[in-house]
Copies of this chain bind each other. A is one copy, B any other.
Amino acid sequence: MKTKNAVARKAVQAVKLPSLPQRPLRGARRESRRGDSTRLSILNAAERCFAQNGFDGVSLRTITEVAGVDLALVNYHFGSKDNLLREVIARRAKVVHEDRVRALEMARHEADASSPSIEAIVTAFLEPLLRRLSNGDAGWHHYSRLISQLDVLPKFTGLTGDVLDPTALHFINALRLALPKASPQSIYWGYMFLIGSMVQVISATGRIERLSRGLCRSGDIEGALHRLIPFISAGLRALGRQAE
């Protein structure tokens, strides 16, 4: 991910990566091995460290210390720091994507013939992630903060796009049906604003505590959701009413 030597390193990886699938088959039925707990420890530690200090702000040394494993193991299991990041993201993104699609399916089912309401669509998008946060799961908390960072860093847009764009297009399509009078451009921009508002909640930087002198808390997901859904829904509806 460094600018220098990027080409050289890419060439090295192109030689090395194809050998990775030779590791014990994951997903196939097999007894759990020792390496699995190592992999997990590294993933969890990386998730937490990346979220706190950013990808480039953390060394593999720090990560393996937090994980309580040897430095060399991260390259054995993940091949490179870049790929470690990729797997950290992919692990949870997959889960959220499936939950969101499922929630949207249910909303469609309940709406019968017509399109679900804006509120229902927005809720189907927000709840799968935010409910996990309000359950206090630290891992999801770190993942959310990490996603928030990668979302605004140009050099990572490729990575996050691969993982998040399918969900985006799915919900953009749902919004288009729910807002038939909105221009396509307004729908795309509206989706961006939706993401932006949500990111302010899930990035949980502590800024709202400082601004409100403790009146609001970053961790109060219920309180945030209670404002976020009406805010986004009304905003999107306004775009649907717009002359153009």
Contact indicator B165/A154 (Cβ below 8 Å): no
Partner of A149, one of B51, B152, B197: B152
Interface-facing stretch out of A24-32, A34-42, A230-238: A230-238
Number of copies: 2
Q: Taking CB as reference atom, which chain B residue is nearest A209? A: B188
**Is A60 interfacial (CB-CB < 8 Å)?**
no
**Bound: A59/B103 CA distance, A:** 45
**Is A177 interfacial (CB-CB < 8 Å)?**
no
Partner of A215, one of B188, B195, B200, B207: B188
Interface-facing stretch out of A107-115, A129-137, A220-228: A220-228
Given contacts A231-B236, A234-B235, contact A192 B185 (CB under 8 A): no
**Bound: A233/B155 CA distance, A:** 32
Chain B's nearest CB lies how many Å from the CB of A146?
10
Chain B CB within 10 Å — which of A169, A195, A238 has the most? A238
Chain B's nearest CB lies how many Å from the CB of A67?
16
Contact indicator B149/A211 (Cβ below 8 Å): no
A-side binding surface: helix, strand, loop or mixed?
A: helix
**Bound: A94/B210 CA distance, A:** 20
**Is A47 interfacial (CB-CB < 8 Å)?**
no
Q: Taking CB as reference atom, which chain B residue is nearest A202? A: B152
Chain A 103-160 interface residues, beta-carbon cutoff 8 Å to B = 145, 148-149, 151-155, 157
17 contacts between A and B (CB under 8 A): A2-B57, A54-B54, A148-B152, A152-B152, A152-B199, A152-B203, A157-B205, A172-B211, A185-B212, A185-B223, A190-B227, A196-B196, A196-B200, A230-B239, A231-B235, A233-B238, A234-B237
* Residues of A participating in the B interface, judged by any CB pair closer than 8 Å: 1-3, 51-57, 62, 145, 148-149, 151-155, 157, 161, 165, 168-169, 172, 184-186, 188-193, 195-201, 203, 205-208, 210-212, 215-216, 223-224, 227-228, 230-239, 242
5 interchain residue pairs of minimum CB distance: A234-B238, A196-B200, A196-B196, A231-B235, A56-B56
